[in-house]
Amino acid sequence: MTVDAGEAGKSRDATTAAMLDAAEHLFAERGFTAVSVRDIARRAGVSHALVHRYLGSKEEVYRAVLERNEDVMRAAAGDTEDLDVALSLMVREGLANRRSYLRLIAHSALHGLPYETTIGRFRGAERLVELAESKAAAATSPRPDALEPRLVIAAIVAIYLGWASLEPWLVKATGLEDLDEATLAAGLERIILGIADTNVPGDDG
């Protein structure tokens, strides 16, 4: 029995996606150092040899997980030149569909995984920095106390990752159990946009 090349390609793509899904959830739950290739294989229902064959080492699997999600996060903002729009779109994408990825990033950072082990370029964050710097540079009446745009974006990313990682704890700690998920997400978005508008002022704000 012969297997059509197209079908074989689909099967490999599906298997690779299952491996990456398994790796993402495990890394988010346990952190990079506590997860092995065998753990990923077991969660995906394949042999560890197949993980190595399709994706390589654990470090390469980790980078593939980051790359896949980062592509989606950057794509969420599209081609907008508006910082607020880009922030809104990325915040919504992350909270709606990429929470395990955001937790994975936070877990990695908090547990000492060197930045150099990552993909090295987070295109979503880079795009936000570009837009913030462009907005600040275009202001006809720049504020003398204006903050460095990169610092503002760094603070926003920290809040965003922190919320995505700690939301259940934060909700209980601050008595927010009466608010539904949509209200919480909308409120976080408003807070992030408020930080951006206050600290990266342009001619529109």
Per-residue pLDDT of the chain (205 residues; tens, 9 = 90+): 444 445 455 588 899 999 999 999 999 888 888 899 999 999 999 999 999 999 999 999 999 998 888 889 999 999 999 999 999 999 999 999 998 889 888 888 887 778 888 877 788 999 999 999 999 998 877 677 788 999 999 999 999 999 998 999 999 999 999 999 999 999 999 999 999 999 987 755 4
Q: Tokens 């059509």 belong to which residue?
A: 4
| Nearest C-alpha neighbor of 18 from the set 65, 56, 66 | 65
For 50, residues 6+ apart whose C-beta sits below 8 A from its C-beta are 15, 19, 41
Three-class secondary structure of residue 7 per DSSP: helix
The gap between the terminal CA atoms of the chain, to the nearest Å, is 66
Give the integer Cα–Cα distance in Å for 73 and 65. 12
Rounded to whole angstroms, what are the CA distances from 137 to 133, 152, 181, 202, 203?
6, 14, 36, 8, 10
- Cα–Cα–Cα angle for 32, 38, 41, rounded to 5 degrees: 100
Query: In the structure encoding, which two tokens stand for residue 116, read together?
Result: 């150099």
**Domains within the chain, CATH numbers bracketed:** 5-199 (1.10.357.10)
Give residue 152's Cα distance to chain centre. 17
Question: How would you label 19-51 residue by residue, b for 16+ Cβ within 10 Å and e otherwise?
Answer: bbbbbbbbbbeebbeebebebbbebbebeeeeb
- What does the DSSP 8-state code read for residue 201? -
Query: In the structure encoding, which two tokens stand for residue 31, read together?
Result: 């952190």
